[in-house]
Amino acid sequence: MDRKTVPNDILIPQVGQLLSEGREVEFRPKGVSMLPFIRPDRDNVVLKKRETVSVGDIVLADLGGKYVLHRVIREDGDRLTLMGDGNIKGTESCARKDILGTVVCIMKKGRKPVVPGKGKLWRTLLPFRRYILAFYKRVLM
């Protein structure tokens, strides 16, 4: 199979269009912001447009031309706060209308597909993520 790398500013608007048409989209995310649950250049994610988004969902958001695949950690009316599972600080904020799709499945290489949970325990472990992620990157990756 041929592999092509397409810049996010070209790929993601197309993904958003397909999602808005009610289709499911599978792609391979880049970056380490969703470690240890989504590994770059190894795992694929399947996204779907959902009517509702809630705390714990992993979403693809358009932040004014910058696109992130992060978990919703807080809701405040129409505003959502996002943070990557692999991040130890820093958040993004967006409106619900900026959510292009929600991860409904993580395709792990060589394993059965995984339906993502809400990450409640992982979100609770935020003060300890630095140590857990350091161990993961050094020993398990």
Quick: pLDDT tens for 35-65.
999 998 889 999 999 999 999 999 999 999 8
Mean pLDDT computed over 118-122: 95
Q: Is residue 2's pLDDT more than 80? A: no
Q: Is residue 116's pLDDT more than 90? A: yes
With bands split at pLDDT 50, 70 and 90, how would you rate the model's confidence at 1?
A: low
- What pLDDT is attached to residue 25? 94
Q: Is residue 23's pLDDT more than 80? A: yes
- pLDDT higher at 110 or 112: 112
With bands split at pLDDT 50, 70 and 90, how would you rate the model's confidence at 74?
A: very high
Q: Are 98 and 61 in contact (CB under 8 A)?
A: yes
Highest mean pLDDT among 17-31, 67-81, 127-141: 67-81
- What pLDDT is attached to residue 40? 87
In this structure, the chain runs to a length of: 141
- What pLDDT is attached to residue 73? 97
Task: Just give the CATH number of 8-140.
Answer: 2.10.109.10
What pTM does this model have?
0.92
Report d(CA 103, CA 119) in Å as an integer. Answer: 13
Mean pLDDT computed over 28-36: 91
Judged by DSSP in three states, 108 sits in: coil
Short-list 49, 3, 7, 54, CA closest to 25: 49
Report d(CA 111, CA 43) in Å as an integer. Answer: 10
